[in-house]
A and B are shown apart, each in its own frame.
Chain A
């Protein structure tokens, strides 16, 4: 069965860095585009970043562009999110999600991990 397991969250001071990981199993990771989505306190879900199945294209929300970097290691079936210059509004639960592409612009997230908690506090 498909499993996505995030790790790497924790408490970090403003301006600090964290590297999140998402270990994937049960599907062909190297054939799948992957995303990071976060849920910030008191708010809903916010899309953060995307990496194409072959790693050749990445995209970011404006709120994290220039500070976060998404990457993947297909040999280890693992997705990463390097988060630098962290701010208080980056705090929340970070989920990795596997995408499915349909016809046209149809794109949805059929599997999600359970999330890893990031806290930004001095």
Chain B
């Protein structure tokens, strides 16, 4: 089974900061990697699919990169509404899916 490891597990940052979250796969998953944002009590929201493709309607301050085993989600300038938990998810095991353990982004 593929394991997905995110780092850091939690992160404190300020509005306007540039933030990077890393996701590492236990084997190559090529570019089959998606990113989601999840706020308490809300439905998870797709941000990035296939490693670097911005989902329609998602602000351009979000970007994704990487391939193989190492991936990053970058928020170029944090906004108040961006404080949430972020998850990566591989689709190499399709139709099964494995999520990372999540990165909780908190206000400093």
What residues make up the interface of A, taking CB atoms closer than 8 Å to B?
Answer: 4, 33, 35, 37, 43-47, 50, 52, 57, 59, 61, 95, 97, 99-100, 102, 104-115
Contacts and interface: CB of A to CB of B under 8 A. Distances in A.
Chain B facing A: main interface SS: loop
A95 B44 contact: yes
Interface residues of B, number: 29
Interface stretch (B18-26, B72-80, B89-97): B89-97
Contacts of A114: 41-43
Chain A facing B: main interface SS: strand
Interface of B: 30-32, 34, 36, 38, 41-46, 49-50, 55, 85, 87, 89, 91-92, 94-102
A28 to B, nearest CB: 18
Contacts of B99: 37, 44-47
A109 B92 contact: no
